[in-house]
Structures are given as structure tokens and as C-alpha cells.
Structure 1
Amino acid sequence: MEANLDTYVYKLGDVNYINLTNRCTNDCEFCLRRTGDGVAGYDLWLKQEPTAGDIIKQLEKDKTDVVFCGYGEPTIRIDELKEVAAYVKNYGGHTRLNTNGHASAFHGRDIAQELAGLIDEVSISLNEADARKYEAVVHSRYGEDGFRYMLDFARDCVKYGIHTTLSVVDVISPEDIETCRRIAQDVGAHFRVRHYIS
């Protein structure tokens, strides 16, 4: 009964956000998880991770576009993510994934290829201008290799025709932001500077 209180789907604007897990391969300095329990009044800490069926049951009542973005890295639960995305695509919804880009490293296979046709848009957290600075900010389980894994995933998403954006938070230096912009161009991705939310 208590697990039913967990927030698996939460609404921001006209879009449903999907909270699949609290697990993550990073522990970012600026992550909202460090300072609060959720977003816009939604408590996103989970006592129990949802099944794809749990998510789909909630989406049946409100068939809108979705963003896979909660209090963890959505691609850790790749099977559930793909099942929900297929359901959303089936009713004509748009799908976006917000990710740290470690999916292929985590699962040991080409996850970007599996997302083609299911995920319309992917936003990947670039965060910093090189591997050393990246690791100092995100504290990845992969160490500095996490930077390379993330960029490889971004390139694969571009290769498979997924609309791909690399993003940074506006807490880094203007010089590093420009370096990150050039990195995104080299990858073939779009670039976005996100405002830091405390």
C-alpha cells in the first residue's frame, strides 16, 4: 500500500515526467538530490521502483508527451524505459530522455541503437569541458572514463538519427561553456546552457 505513494509520473506544464529509479552512475555536485526531495512539490524519492505496467497504467489516464527524467538515471532501467516509450509512441506521443549518457557503458552494449524509433529526443549532460573537470563535478563510478563514455553515447545517438542535445549548467566559466559548445558541434549535437536550479 505504501509503495502506491511513490511518484512514478509527475506533471510539469503539459508534459508527463517519468521517475523510473533513484539509482545513478554519477553523484553530481549540483544535483537537486543533494538539497531536496523533489521538484515542484513532487517527492521523487522512491521506496520501490515502478514496473513498466505501473507507469503505463498512469499514462492511460493522461496520454501526453513524456520525458524520462526523475531522481536517478532512467537508462539504468532500460527495459522498462523502452516498454513505456513504445507505449507512448503507439498513441502518438513525443518522447524525450534526459540522461548522463552512461547507458551503453552501464549495460555493456549499444543502447543508442535500441532507443532509435522509441526516443525522439535525447538531452545528455555534458557538464564540463574535459574529462578531469567532468569527474571533479560529477563523481562518476567510471572516473574520468565517464566523459568518454558520455560522448560516445552522444555520437551514437546522432548516428541513429535521434535529435541529440548536449547541455551544461551555467555555473561553469564562460570559456568552458564555449569549449563545450565546440564539443557539441564536433559530435554533431545541439547545445544548450541550462540555468542552475538551487
Structure 2
Amino acid sequence: MKKTAMTISYELWGKLYLNITNKCPCACTFCLRQNDDGAYGSDPLWLEHQPTLEEVLANLKTRDLSSYEEIIFCGYGEPTSELDILLETAKYIRSVCDTPIRLNTNGLANLIHGRKTEPDFKGLIDTVSISLNASESEAYMAITRPKWKDKDCFAELLSFAKDMKQYVPNVVLTVVDVIGEEEIAKSQKVADSVGVKLRVRPLES
């Protein structure tokens, strides 16, 4: 049974993570939320209801935002699903501190909103980290299981990454280390093809 709470923000490794929505257009085979209620010992991240902007800001005002190494939009959902809340929250953070802001995303915001969203992030986000998950489209669709079965979501992700470079200083594609050296090498070529960095991360981080 899912445990619910209103864990809008949680601390890990000296960083503050923002859980602004549980909405997500994907059902990734490896996703933490398939098997647990929280992340790495956090309180439950299943939200009792979709937070309003006012609730998110009220939560942040209880914390010293300047004390964190980084503030990261990353919880039990795709942050860009609530794009307006994400952007307004980033504006608030920018107004009160200089802490770097990162967005962890599936890179499908343009499909979610039916328009080009990349310009919206200019001046608000320092790093956009996009989950690549595979080095080619067929494997990507099988692993991430997005709701758009008739779209090339892999191509959409890469287009998002490439275009985001115009607006955000640091754009990164990520894969987990368990995929093996051959797949990592292929993923590096994919990242090189759109001119962004590749980060290979441990599965548990």
C-alpha cells in the first residue's frame, strides 16, 4: 500500500530535492516508485494531492536555501509536468539565494505541453540533467514506456537536449552504470551527436 505525505522538499547529500508533482508520462521499468514510497530513506514522496505554487513556496520558506550545495527538481514525478510551478519556484529561489538549480527530467516537456519549452528555462536553471536510458529509440521506448506510442520520444529527447544548450549553461544526458561498457560507449556517441555531456551514474544515486 502506498504511503502518502506532503513531502515537497527533502534533503540528501547536502542537497535539497524538490518533489513538486507525482505526474509522469512514462512508466520506466527501473523507476524507484515501482517498488518504494520514498528515495534513499526520505519520507514518503507520494503526495496527498498536487501541491499548489503557494504550498511549494511556503515549504521552501521554512528552509535556508543558501545552505545547500544544489537545489534539484527531482521527486516522484516528472517536474516539467507542472511547468508553471517549476518556473515560478525557480524564480523564487533565484530571488533569495545563489544556490545552483538543477532540473532532472525525462526530456519530454515539449510533448507534454505541445510546444517548444526550452526558452522558458533561460536564466532560471543552471543544469538540465536528462535521463537517456538507452542508446537507440527501440530500446528507449521499451525501457521508459512513455504514453506516446506513436511518437519518436527518443528523437524528442535529443532535440530537447540540443536546443536546451541555447538557454541553460550545463546540459547533461545520463545513463546508469549497470548498462555495460558497450552501451555506455554508444550512449557517449549519442551525447556527442547533440553536443552535450554524458554522465554515467551509479544505479543507486
Q: Is residue 5–residue 46 contact of structure 2 (8 Å, CA) maintained in 1?
A: no
**Amino acid in structure 2 at the alignment position of 1:28:** C
Q: How many residues align?
A: 195
Please name the residue that 1:59 is paired with. Answer: 60
Distance 2:171 2:74 in 1: 15
- Which residues in structure 2 correspond to 1:28-177 (within 5 Å)? 28-39=28-39, 40-62=41-63, 63-64=65-66, 65-91=70-96, 92-143=98-149, 145-177=152-184
1:66 CA drift (Å) = 1.4
Structure 2 residue corresponding to 1:179, chosen from 157, 166, 186? 186
**Amino acid in structure 1 at the alignment position of 2:181:** P
Distance 1:112 1:135 in 2: 22
Distance 2:201 2:105 in 1: 14
**Amino acid in structure 2 at the alignment position of 1:52:** L
1:61 CA drift (Å) = 2.5
Identity of aligned residues (%): 40
RMSD: 1.6
Distance 1:163 1:104 in 2: 19
Paired residue secondary structure (1:171)? helix
Q: Is residue 191–residue 197 contact of structure 2 (8 Å, CA) maintained in 1?
A: yes
Please name the residue that 1:192 is paired with. Answer: 199
Q: Is residue 6–residue 44 contact of structure 1 (8 Å, CA) maintained in 2?
A: yes
Structure 2 portions without partners, runs of 5+: none
1:57 CA drift (Å) = 1.4
Q: Deviation digits for residues 143-177 of structure 1, max 9, x if unmatched?
A: 36111111111011112243100001123232111
Paired residue secondary structure (2:87)? helix
1:12 CA drift (Å) = 1.1
Q: TM-score, normalised by structure 1?
A: 0.93
Distance change >3 Å, CA 172–CA 18, structure 1 → 2: same
1:93 CA drift (Å) = 2.5
